[in-house]
Amino acid sequence: MNTSAPVLTAAAARVIDAVKVYGSGDTEVRALDGVTVEFPAARFTAIMGPSGSGKSTLMHCAAGLDTLTSGSAHIGATDLSVLDDRRLTLLRRDRIGFVFQAFNLLPTLTVAENITLPMDLAGQRGDSEWIDALIDVVGLRDRLHHRPSELSGGQQQRVAVARAFAGRPDVVFADEPTGNLDSRSGEEVLGLLGRTVREMDRTVVMVTHDPVAASHADEVVFLADGRLVDRMPDPTPGRVLDRMKDLDPKGGA
C-alpha cells in the first residue's frame, strides 16, 4: 500500500439515488427526485434550498427517521433500508444525535441529567471523560444542576447540543437549530457546532434556510425541487445569499 497517498475523507452518512414520493395520483409530490450526496466525516455540512425543496425530507431519510421510496441511505457502512424498525431505532439511539429547533429538554431534569438522558435510557454508562470535555466546550460547567427553565434559550440549545454529542454518535443532524434563538445566541450555538466538528472531530449535518447560519459550515449543499443542484465549499453569507437568490428569486426560503 502506498502510505503517501492522500487519505480520502470517509462519508459519515450518504444517500444514493434517493427518491421520496408523498401521496399518489393527483396529489403526488416528489419531495426527493434522485438525490445522491455524501456527508463527509469530521466535517460540518449545511443543507440549504428554498422552502419545499426537500431539505427536511432529505435529513429525515438520511437519519433514519423516515424511509425512502427508492434508493438507499447509509450511516457509515450501514444500509438503513435493510434494517427492521427495532434495529433502526437502535441505530438512531447509538449512532446518531439530533438537535431540533425546539430544544426538547425535559423540564424536571437538571442540565447534567438532560445531557446523559439518552445514555441513561439505554442503560449505558457513557464515556465520562468525553462528557466532561463536552461540558466545557459548550460552556455549561456552572449550570449543571440548573433546570432548563432557569436557562436562556441559547443555553438550553447548548444543553441540547451537548446531549446530541454525548454518546459520541457517528453524525449529528441539526434541523434549523437556531430557528428559535436571537441572532447572538444563534451565533453562539453555530460556533459551538463548528468547534465540536473541528476540535473534537465530530460530524454535523444541518438543515437551515439562513445564509449566515450556513456560512458556519465547511460546505453547503443546495437543493431545489427535490434535486441536488450545487455544492459550495468554504461558504460566506454573501455567496450563499447570491446562490439562494438564483434558486428562489421570490425569496421564499
Residues that bind ligand ADP (CB under 6 A): 22-23, 29, 31, 49, 51-57
Cell of 104: 426538547
Where helices occur in 5-127 by DSSP H, the ranges are: 55-62, 85-95, 111-121
DSSP assignment letter at 149: G
Cell of 44: 460540518
Distance CA 185, CA 169 (A): 24
State the minimum distance, in angstroms, from the CB of residue 64 to ligand ADP. Answer: 16
Q: Which residues pair with 224 in a beta bridge?
A: 227
70 forms bridges with which residues in the sheet? 19
Task: Supply the minimum distance, in Å, between the C-beta of residue 8 and ligand ADP.
Answer: 30
Shortest spacing between CB 248 and ligand ADP, in angstroms: 10
Nearer Cβ to ligand ADP (138/224): 224
Q: What's the min distance (Å) between Cβ of 204 and ligand ADP?
A: 17
In angstroms, give the least distance from the CB of 57 to ligand ADP.
3
When the beta carbons of 34 and 52 are compared against ligand ADP, the nearer one is 52
Integer Cα distance of 49 and 55 in angstroms: 7
User: Can you tell me whether residue 226 is helix, strand or coil?
Assistant: coil
Q: 153-166 and 111-121 are packed helices; what angle lies between their axes, rounded to 10 degrees?
A: 30
Half-sphere exposure of 231 (CA within 13 A, CB side): 11
Q: How far is the CB of 48 from ligand ADP (least distance, A)?
A: 9
Q: Based on CB atoms, which residue is closest to ligand ADP, 188 or 210?
A: 210
In the complex with ligand ADP, which residue's Cβ is closer, 21 or 42? 21
Which CB sits closer to ligand ADP, 165 or 222? 222
Q: Which is nearer to ligand ADP, 113 or 225 (CB)?
A: 225
Edge-to-edge strands of the sheet including 29-40? 29-40, 11-22, 70-75, 78-79
Quote the least distance from Cβ 223 to ligand ADP, whole Å.
7
Question: Distance between terminal CA atoms of the chain?
Answer: 48
The residue behind cell 449545511 is: 46
Nearer to ligand ADP, 21 or 133 (CB): 21
